Amino acid sequence: MEKATFAGGCFWCMVTPFEELEGIHGIVSGYTGGHVESPTYEQVKTGTTGHYEVVQITFDPAVFPYEKLLELYWPQVDPTDAEGQFQDRGPQYRAAIFYHNENQKELAEKTKAELAASGRFNKPIVTEVLPAAPFYTAEDYHQDYHKKNPKHYKEDRAASGRDEFIEKNWN
């Protein structure tokens, strides 16, 4: 098993693209990349801890290779937005790929370069590729939020503009 860690705005919206796929053995919402040990949601949402909201995925690379995770990741984000994602603004909502080994780093940088060269976007690709940092699991109520609070999740996602962006830019 390996871990993959992705930031793409609100972590609630980053769970569903990866769940229920063969080879994915777990998805945990949490925080990484900051300077506060064991941060709480209340701290992270202020944007002052340096942490990103992320999902950490446990996967079997023999069944679901990292490249496939990246293929799913890029269409979930606006890779040209350095200030957050969709309606979620602030440093805690920036998009980033946190790599756990050199292979992940190389693949993430390669796919980022390919996206930049594709001409799909007319602005620079600013999503960062960063080394994995200590990961802190988010509070229980954030785990599988879309299942625990489906009405609120659907309303929040609909209001975010994420789905319209995906449809327009990723088909």
**pLDDT score at 125:** 98
In terms of Cα–Cα distance, which of 4, 3, 1 is closest to 96?
Answer: 4
**pLDDT score at 171:** 75
> What string of pLDDT tens digits covers the 171 residues of the chain?
999 999 999 999 999 999 989 999 999 999 999 999 999 999 999 999 999 999 999 999 999 999 999 999 999 999 999 999 999 999 999 999 999 999 999 999 999 999 999 999 999 999 999 999 999 999 999 999 999 999 999 999 999 999 999 999 987
What is the value of pTM for the model shown? 0.96
Angle at which helix 162-170 crosses helix 150-160, to 10 degrees, equals: 60
10 catalytic per annotation: yes
Cα-Cα-Cα-Cα torsion 100, 104, 109, 110, nearest 10 degrees, comes to 180
Residue in the structure block whose two tokens are 């945990």 = 28
Q: Half-sphere exposure (CA, 13 Å, Cβ side) for 35? A: 4
Q: How far apart are CA 92 and CA 84, in angstroms?
A: 7
Dihedral pair phi/psi, residue 18, rounded to 5°? -105, -15
In terms of Cα–Cα distance, which of 132, 127, 99, 122 is closest to 112?
Answer: 127
**pLDDT score at 153:** 94
**Domains with residue ranges and CATH for the chain:** 2-170 (3.30.1060.10)
Catalytic annotation, pick one of 4, 7, 10, 14: 10
Which DSSP string do the residues of 42-83 spell out, in sequence order? Answer: HHHTTT-S-PEEEEEEEE-TTTS-HHHHHHHHGGGS-TT-SS
